[in-house]
Amino acid sequence: MPVDVKYRTTASATGGRDGSAKTDDGTFQVKLAIPKELGGPGGAGNNPEQLFAAGYSACFLGAMKAVAPSLKTRVPADTTVTTTVGIGPRSEGGFGITVDMAISLPGLDRPEAQKLIDEAHQICPYSNATRNNVDVKLSLA
């Protein structure tokens, strides 16, 4: 399925899960640390799952803003998208991730909010990238 690319970005990592990552334009740099739950020392630093959770949250909120006008609704200013990413061994071998996303849309009635979430899930690039590959659960908080 072809994509009409409008923007590209590049990031590099060194040292793996206990190294560092940065964007090539220098606007973002992060120290990486392996969580204790995955056998690492924990401590200062972030991990790829945290970065994925933050990126998916922001992207999904952007997708809701993109579809809201076509639904004749709005995304409240105090909307929050809280994404929890899990990682662990797969029964088929290797590792996999799960995503649980809680969306809070204060002031919207449940049917309107649910429609907004459903439509955003169809256009969000992260949702499209994970569809049929990652267990993604969406809930209206």
Domains of the chain plus CATH, in order, are 1-46 (2.20.25.10), 48-140 (3.30.300.20)
Per-residue confidence (pLDDT) for residue 2, from 0 to 100: 86
User: What's the pTM value of the predicted model, to 2 decimals?
Assistant: 0.94
Residue 101 buriedness (CB in 10 A; 0-12 / 13-18 / 19+): buried
Alpha carbons 138 and 25: distance in angstroms, whole number: 33
Would you state the pLDDT for residue 67?
Answer: 98
pLDDT digits (tens, 9 = 90+) for 103-139: 999 999 999 999 999 999 999 999 999 999 999 999 9
Q: What residues in the chain have per-residue pLDDT under 70?
A: none
